[in-house]
Structure formats: structure tokens, C-alpha cells
Amino acid sequence: MKKIFKNIGIITLTMLVFASCKKDEEKLSVTAGESPALAVSTNTLVLTPATASDTVITFSWNKQEVTWSTPANATDISTYTLQIDSAGQNFASSYDVDFTGFVKEKYTGADFNALMVSKVNLPSDVASHIELRLKTSIAPNQSPVYSNVVSLTVTPYMVIPEYVSLYVPGGHQGWAPETATTIGSVKNDGTYEGFVNFPDASTEYKLTTERNWTSTNYGSGGEGILLANSKDNIIQAGAGYYYIKADINKLTYTATKTSWAVLGAATSGGWDTETALTYDINAKVWKATVNLTAGEFKFRANNDWALNMGASTIDGVLKIASNDNLSVSDAGNYTITLDLSHPAYYMYKLKKN
């Protein structure tokens, strides 16, 4: 049992000033009961976009009992905090969620996934083991009490942001804006980027602002020049996987044919010799199966550093021209997957075989 003494003379002072301080300071004792027990509705959770709007997990606990020496002054002073950390870390670097004012908290799949990925920093598409407990306090200057520890295995999913987009309908896909590949604007500033596969020796296409032909679309105004509602298509000579950048403010565009590879200290060729990736047209990803040692690596296009990708602040997500290398900690045979199909949000995976 824990006890605190709360001096309420200061609290009542403001109310008593206008009464000429007729009442002396009084002391009030508060006795807090044991820490509430934490219960969770499941111990294994696989999150998917399909359950984003469903309630996937519920936390519940009993209210802490608090006894006041003067019942007339009783108020609810207990604060509740859910602490979350990786299993075995003893909550040394826990992420804390304020649960004060509740005895039950429900999470939808989308909300709990965001908590796990963005706040707890769990990797997506991987089963992670975490521990949770409830921290209960009755005053800042008093030691808190802790509930039982609950174990949870959770597999979050990658949330891919949807940027403002231009659509790329053309001869390569039947001139259908409603199914066209997109290029995205991260800052919503009129500049767009993304990758489009053109399988034919010559491809004509346009850029549309909506998935239809009635809204503004951009065609060719000359080499590298866009023209709104132009009757002329943009013509791309040569089959390949193209990195397209467009600026509808300056009415310019570039289309760079790319082939991708991996290189670095973790690869057999080191930083001097690339290991090529192969494009899977059905899966829309680049892949290779390679032997890796513990070390660092990067992805780059066209055997040149002009277009390369390294680590970002998000696990599994790449950044163009990043100063930070990617890394692998264990040597072995891996399948490397480079996914550039989501405009301006490029990803990779390493799967040990």
C-alpha cells in the first residue's frame, strides 16, 4: 500500500482569499490500492488492410482503489499509462500511451498498425514479440505501480502513402486512365516522379490529372516539354523500365530508362562490381538471389551513381540519393526484392533462403 499527503491549503487558498482567510490549512491523506490487472483480448495479432476498420484488440483493467481521509474531498487522481516495448527489454525504452480516464481501450486495425509501425517502430510483415504493462500513478512525486506483463506477438503491415498523382495512360496499357500506372508528388508541389514499364519498342502516352480524359491531360509540346490538352502524344522510343519525372509548373518532363543492380561490401563484387537484378513483369519488382556477407550495400541504376537508393528513416523503405547505406547482419543466401511500383515510395526486402 502506498500513501501520500496532499497539502490542499494551496488549492483552497485562492478560494479563501476573498473570505479573509477564515479557514486554516488542512492536510488530506490518500491511500492507493494495488495496481490494476491488465487484460488483453488476444495474444497473437496479424494486421492487414482488410481489417483496418475492424476492432482488432481491446485492453481492459480495473480501476485503482483510492481511499481519502476526507471522503467529501475525494476525486479520481489515478493516471494510467500503457507501456509497450520489445520482449525482454524490461521496458527500458518503452513507448507510452496515456490511458487516463478509461478502464477499457479498443483499437481498430489501422490505428493499432500505425501505433506499432510509427511509434513502437516494429518492422512490417514480420512477426514481432512485444510486452505491455499498465503503469498507474497517483502523484508525480510518488513511485508508480505496475500491472502484470502481457505478451503479444504482432505482425504489422506496410502502409503505403497515397500521394497526389498523375496517371500514365498509353499504348502500353490500352489508353485507359482508370487502370494506368501513377507517378506521385510527395510534397504536392506540382513535381511528380515514378517508374513505368514500357514493354514495346516504341510507346506513346500522355499524363492525366484524373483517371479520365475529361480533366486536364498533358501531351507533347516538344522534346522534354509538356503541353496541356495537347493533341500530340509523348513518344518514348525503346522498351524498358523508365523513371519519369514531370513538373506541371514548368511544363517539363524527363524519362530515363533504367536497369537495376545491388553492390556494396555485403556483395561478392564489393563496391566496384554490381550484381544485376532481373525485372519480374508479373510481380512488378526487381529480384536477384545472391550470397551476402555481413556488411553494407546500396541499389543503383545503369551502372552509375547518378540514380541510387539507400536507407531512409523507415525500415524497408528506400531514399533516392541517400547518404546512408543499407545493411545485412547475417551472412547467407538471400532473395533481394526491389519494389519501385509505388510512386515516390520505394521499398526493398531481404529474404534469407
In this predicted structure, which of 57-71, 146-160, 285-299 has the lowest mean pLDDT?
Answer: 57-71
Distances (CA, A) of 51 to 21, 113, 125: 60, 10, 15
Single residue among 133, 155, 177 that ends a domain in this structure: 155
H helices of the chain, where? 9-16, 109-114
Question: Mean pLDDT throughout 98-113?
Answer: 90
Q: What is the DSSP annotation of 19-48?
A: GTS-S---EEEEEE-PPPPEEES-SEEE--
Pair 119, 189 in one domain: no
Task: Mark 65-80 as b/e (b = at least 16 C-beta within 10 Å).
Answer: eeeeeeeeeeeeebbb
Single residue among 101, 120, 155 that ends a domain in this structure: 155
- Specify if 40 maps to a domain: yes
Coil, strand or helix at 273: coil
pLDDT tens digit string along 158-198?
888 899 999 999 999 999 999 999 999 999 999 999 999 99
- Specify if 340 maps to a domain: yes
Pair 281, 331 in one domain: yes
Per-residue confidence (pLDDT) for residue 305, from 0 to 100: 98
Per-residue confidence (pLDDT) for residue 280, from 0 to 100: 97
Task: Mark 88-118 as b/e (b = at least 16 C-beta within 10 Å).
Answer: eeebeebbebebeeeeeeebebbebbbbbbe
Note whether 168 and 207 are within 8 A (CB).
yes
- Specify if 29 maps to a domain: no
* Confidence bin at 235 (pLDDT 50/70/90): very high
Per-residue confidence (pLDDT) for residue 67, from 0 to 100: 60
- Report residue 15 as a C-alpha cell: 478560494
Q: Is the pLDDT assigned to residue 34 strictly greater than 70?
A: yes
Pair 39, 151 in one domain: yes
Looking up residue 338, the CATH number of its domain turns out to be 2.60.40
- Specify if 14 maps to a domain: no
Per-residue confidence (pLDDT) for residue 171, from 0 to 100: 98
Per-residue confidence (pLDDT) for residue 6, from 0 to 100: 35
- Specify if 272 maps to a domain: yes
Q: Counting beta carbons within 10 angstroms of the beta carbon of residue 12, is it exposed (0 to 12), middle (13 to 18) or buried (19 or more)? A: middle
Q: Is the pLDDT assigned to residue 133 strictly greater than 90?
A: yes
Using CA atoms, how far apart are residues 300 and 274, in angstroms rounded to an integer? Answer: 9
Per-residue confidence (pLDDT) for residue 75, from 0 to 100: 56
Q: Is the pLDDT assigned to residue 344 strictly greater than 70?
A: yes
Using CA atoms, how far apart are residues 132 and 115, in angstroms rounded to an integer? Answer: 13
Residue 208: how many CB atoms within 10 A of its CB? 22
Q: Counting beta carbons within 10 angstroms of the beta carbon of residue 253, is it exposed (0 to 12), middle (13 to 18) or buried (19 or more)? A: buried
- Report residue 249 as a C-alpha cell: 509548373
Single residue among 130, 155, 180 that ends a domain in this structure: 155
Of residues 348, 250, 246, the one with CA closest to residue 299: 348
Instruction: Collect all residues with Cβ–Cβ distance below 8 Å to 247 and sequence separation of at least 6.
Output: 190, 191, 192, 253
pLDDT tens digit string along 253-264?
999 999 999 999
Alpha carbon 202 to chain centroid distance? 38
Q: Which domain, by its residues, includes 346?
A: 260-352
In this predicted structure, which of 6-15, 25-34, 106-115, 120-129 has the lowest mean pLDDT?
Answer: 6-15
Alpha carbon 261 to chain centroid distance? 26
Note whether 102 and 62 are within 8 A (CB).
no
- Specify if 16 maps to a domain: no
Q: Is the pLDDT assigned to residue 3 strictly greater than 60?
A: no
* Confidence bin at 10 (pLDDT 50/70/90): very low
Per-residue confidence (pLDDT) for residue 173, from 0 to 100: 98
Pair 127, 65 in one domain: yes
Using CA atoms, how far apart are residues 193 and 35, in angstroms rounded to an integer? Answer: 53
Looking up residue 48, the CATH number of its domain turns out to be 2.60.40.10
Note whether 76 and 66 are within 8 A (CB).
yes
Q: Is the pLDDT assigned to residue 204 strictly greater than 60?
A: yes
Q: What is the DSSP annotation of 193-242?
A: EEEEEE-SSEEEE-EESSSSSSS-EEEESSTTBEEET-SSPEEEES-EEE
Pair 265, 243 in one domain: no
- Specify if 68 maps to a domain: yes
pLDDT tens digit string along 273-295?
999 999 999 999 999 999 999 99
Cell 509538356: give the residue.
Answer: 226
Using CA atoms, how far apart are residues 169 and 76, in angstroms rounded to an integer? Answer: 61
- Specify if 285 maps to a domain: yes
Total number of domains in the chain: 3
* Confidence bin at 329 (pLDDT 50/70/90): very high
Using CA atoms, how far apart are residues 129 and 127, in angstroms rounded to an integer? Answer: 7
Using CA atoms, how far apart are residues 317 and 342, in angstroms rounded to an integer? Answer: 11
Per-residue confidence (pLDDT) for residue 94, from 0 to 100: 93
What amino acid is encoded at 317 in this protein?
Answer: V
Pair 101, 207 in one domain: no
